[in-house]
Amino acid sequence: MTNENLYTNYLNNIQKLNAKNILFNNIDELNQFIHQNYQSYQNLEKNSNEQYGITRNSVSYHSKRDPERESSRQIEEAIKKDSKHVIFCGAGLGYLLPAALNHNTILSVLLIEPDPEIFFYLISLINEDSLFFKSDKKIYLYCCIKPNDDLETILPYFQSKVFSEITIFNHRPSFQAYPERYTSLKNTINKLMEKRAVNQATIIKFQDIWNKNIILNSFAIFQGRTLNDFIQKFHGQYQNIIIAGAGPSLHKSFNDLRLYRNQFLLIAADTAYIPLVKNKIIPDLVLASDPQFINGYYVHTPVVNQSIWILDPVVCYLIPHFLQKNKATMYWWNNPFYYDKILQKYSGDRGNIAHGGSVSTNAFDLAAQLNPEKIILVGQDLSFPDNTAHTKGAALEEKIFFKYTRFYSASYHNHKQMTALEPVKYPSIQNENNFVKTNAKLKIFIEWFEHRSLILQEKQNLNIINASVSGVKLKHFKHIQLKQIFSNSENRKSHNIEVSTPAINSNLNNFIDELKTINNDIKKLNQIYQNSYITSQNLKKNLNSASAQNLILQLDKNDKMIGQYYTGNHIISIEAQSIILNINEAKSDLLNNQTYFYKSMYLAATKINYLISKIIKSPLYNS
C-alpha cells in the first residue's frame, strides 16, 4: 500500500475516531504534523499472510507468523486479576488493542504512542470491522507529537478509576527500538499518576473551603481588575523579575534583595510576604491562591496597599476582605469551577495562570507572561535544609507557637512536614555531589519547574535562574547568586506600578438576579435530594417487599428532576467531590453508596444555599 493510500485511510479513520470522542489530541494540530511528515515514513512491511509488520532499528515489533495470536498471549500474561483498564506505552501497529478489548475484565484501553510514524500506520490500517468502531468498551488514543510532553491532556482518563485496577502495558519491542523515548513516556505516566493521587488528596482536603471562598469573594472580584488588564499594560516592561518563595533559605537573600532592589520587579508568594516586609523589602506584586484559613494571616501588615495583589477566586476570603479594607489594588484570574463560569459571564474573562500546585508556580507562570529577559527564583528550596519547612518569620511558622506544647514543638512540626509523604533526594544547589531531603509532594513542584522552564526557553528564549541560597539543583536552570547577577548590571530603576481602583462592574445587578435564580434552583435540589435520601433508606429496609418497585420509581423520578437544574447541581457537586470520589472508587455495596450520595448532596445543597443567600443579602450588594 502506498503512502498516499495510507494517508487517505488515515484522514478518513482519524475523522471517524474523533467523532467518537476517543482522541485526546487536538486533531488539527495532529493532522498538520502528520501531513508534514507522512511522505518520509517508509518502515511498513506486508507479510505473506496479508498481515502487516514493522521493523525499527533492527527490532521487529510483531511476530511475522501470527501477530494476533502473539498479542492475545501477551495480554493474557500481562493483565492482572483485578484489572479493568489498560494503558499502553506503545502498542506497535495495534494488534494488542483488540486483544485487550476482547479480554473479559477489561472495560477501557488507552494507547499513548510517542512515535508519530507508528501512530500513522496504526490509524491508517484500521478497517470498518475493527473493534475501534464496533466495541462497546471505551477506547482512547493519544499521540505524543511534542518532545517532553507532560501528558496533562490525558488526565480526564483517570477520572473515577481505581489505580489498583489499571494495568500499564509496556510494549517491549518499542522499548528495545527506542529505549530513551519509551522509558521517558513510562516515567511521565508514573509522574502523572502520582500527581493525580496528590490532586485527589487536595480535593478531599479543600472541597469545603473552595466553594465557600469563591462565593464569599464574589463582590471583591467585581470590584477588582483582571489579570488580562495587568498583562496587557505591563507586558515586556521588565528586564528582570524575581520570584520570592518562603523556603527556609529566603532570609539569606534579604541583604542582596535590599541592595539591588531598584533593578528588578519583585513578585512574592503570599507565604513570603510578611518576612519580606518585616525586613523592609516591599514586593511589587503578591500572589495568593491557597484557600486555607491560615492564609488570612499572610496579609496583616500596615503597608499591604503598597503592593498589588493578584488572586485566585478560591483564595481565603479573609485576604480580599482585609485588602478591601486597606484599599489595596486587586487583580483576579479565572478559576475552572462552575460558579466562576457564572461570574465570568458578568465580570468578563480575567485570564489564566498555570497551576503547578503551589503559589510559587503561579508566580512563575505570571512572570513568563510578562516576558522579561530574566526570571530569577529566590527562597525556592523545594526541600528541607536545616530540617525546616519555611523561612524565619513566615506566618505559618509563627502559628506553630499558638499550639506549642512539650508534645508539639517546632521541631516536631518540621518532622511532620518532612515525613508526611514518601522521602525523596535530589542533588544540592550548593554541591551537586551532595543530596538534599525533600518529599513526593515537593517532587511534583520540582518536576513542574523543570519541565516548564525547558518549554519557556524553547519558546521565549528566556534566561531562567535559580538564585536560592540552598535547596534543590533544578534542571534547565542556571544557578547563580543575586550578587553575581546584579553587581555589574546597570542600576536601572523598575517601572512603578500605579493602578487606580476601578468602578464596580455595571453587570453586578444582572449577576445578582442570576444568583437568585440559581439559589432558588438549589433550594429545590435540596428538597429533591432530601426526598431521595429518605426514599433510598426506605428501599434498603424494604428491598424484598412489594413497595420496593414504587420506591425505585420514585428515585428515578427524582433523578430526572435533578437533571433539570444543571447549573445548581454543578455548583453543589463541588461541595461533595470527595464523597463522589470515594463512591466512584469504592467497592462497597451499591445501595449504601446510593444513600450516602443522596445524603451528601442534600447537605451540600443546604450549605451552598446558605452561602449564596448570605451574599445576596449582603449590604455590599445592596448599597
Letter for the amino acid at 224? G
Could you tell me if residue 501 is inside a domain? no
3-state secondary structure of 570: helix
Q: Does one domain contain both 184 and 268?
A: no
Q: Residue 46 is part of which domain span?
A: 3-198
Conformational region of residue 362, where left means phi above 0, alpha means psi within -120 to 50, and beta covers everything else: alpha
Contact (CB, 8 A) for 364 and 449: yes
What number of residues does the chain have? 623
- Total Cβ atoms within 10 A of residue 403: 9
Could you say which DSSP state residue 82 is in?
A: T
Is 208 within a domain? no
The whole-number pLDDT of residue 373 equals: 92
Q: Using an 8 Å Cβ cutoff, are 142 and 89 in contact? A: no
Which residues lie closer than 8 Å to 382 by C-beta, 6 or more apart?
A: 247, 426, 438, 442, 445, 446, 449, 471, 472, 474
Residues 550 and 427 occupy one common structural domain: no
192 and 224 co-located in one domain: no
Instruction: Name the residue among 386, 384, 391 with its Cα closest to residue 251.
Output: 391
Which residues lie closer than 8 Å to 75 by C-beta, 6 or more apart?
A: 96, 99, 100, 103, 169
Contact at 8 Å (CB) between 270 and 319?
yes
pLDDT at 558: 93
For residues 287 and 265, give the distance between their C-alpha atoms in angstroms, rounded to a whole number.
13
Query: Three-class SS of residue 611?
Result: helix
| pLDDT of 231 | 93
Amino acid at 578: S
Establish if 503 belongs to a structural domain.
no
- Looking up cell 496533562, which residue turns up? 152
Q: What is the rounded distance in angstroms from the CA atom of residue 8 to the CA atom of residue 2? A: 10
Q: Is 41 domain-assigned? A: yes
Asked if 376 and 523 sit in the same domain, the reply is: no
Cell of 513: 438576579
**Whether residue 159 is found in the same domain as residue 233:** no
Phi then psi for residue 166, to 5 deg, are -110, 125
Give the per-residue pLDDT at 609: 92
Angstrom distance (rounded) from CA 63 to CA 69: 9
**323 alpha carbon, distance to own chain's centre:** 28
β-strand 166-170 against 225-226: which pairing, if any?
unpaired
Regarding whether 296 and 183 lie in a shared domain, the answer is: no
Whether 169 and 288 share a structural domain: no
| CA–CA dist 392, 387 (Å, integer) | 13
Where do runs of H (alpha helix) occur along 404-481?
Answer: 410-419, 440-460
Give residue for cell 519555611. Answer: 390
* 308-311/330-332 β-pairing: parallel
What b/e string do you get for 318-335 counting C-beta neighbours within 10 Å, with b at 16 or more? bbbbbbbeeebbbbbbbb
pLDDT at 401: 47
Say how many domains are in the chain: 3
d(CA 255, CA 232): 32
Q: Which residues are CB-contacts of 566 (< 8 A; sequence separation ≥ 6)?
A: none
By the 8 A CB rule, do 85 and 110 touch? yes
The reply to whether 379 falls in a domain is: yes
CA distance 616 to 612: 6
- The Cα–Cα gap between 55 and 176 comes to 11
**End-of-domain residue from the set 438, 454, 486:** 486
Instruction: Using alpha carbons, select from 129, 152, 33 the residue that is nearest to residue 444.
Output: 152
Cell 476601578, located at residue: 502
Residues 97 and 88 sit within 8 Å (Cβ to Cβ): yes
pLDDT at position 505? 62
Helices assigned H by DSSP within 263-389:
270-278, 318-325, 338-347, 359-369
Q: Cα(185)–Cα(90) distance, rounded to whole angstroms?
A: 9
Angle, vertex CA 596, rays to CA 591 and CA 598, nearest 5 = 95
Q: Tell whether 497 is covered by a domain.
A: no
Angstrom distances, CA of residue 132 to CA of 22, 105, 122: 9, 18, 11
- From 198, 230, 259, give the residue that closes a domain: 198
Same-domain pairing of 165 and 254: no
Cβ neighbours, 10 Å, residue 585: 14
Are residues 234 and 383 located together in one domain of the fold? yes
User: Does some domain include residue 203?
Assistant: no
- Grid coordinates representing 262? 531598584
Q: Are residues 443 and 323 in the same domain?
A: yes
Q: Which of 432, 453, 486 is the last residue of a domain?
A: 486
Largest CA distance in the chain: 88
Mean pLDDT in each 10-residue stretch from start to end of the chain (623 residues)? 89 90 89 93 81 90 88 89 90 92 91 94 88 85 84 78 84 94 89 68 63 89 90 91 92 94 94 93 94 84 93 93 92 88 87 85 94 94 76 59 51 55 77 81 85 85 91 91 82 54 68 92 95 91 86 92 91 70 53 80 91 82 56
Say if 207 falls within a structural domain.
no
Claim to verify: residue 462 and residue 544 sit in the same structural domain: no
Claim to verify: residue 425 and residue 566 sit in the same structural domain: no
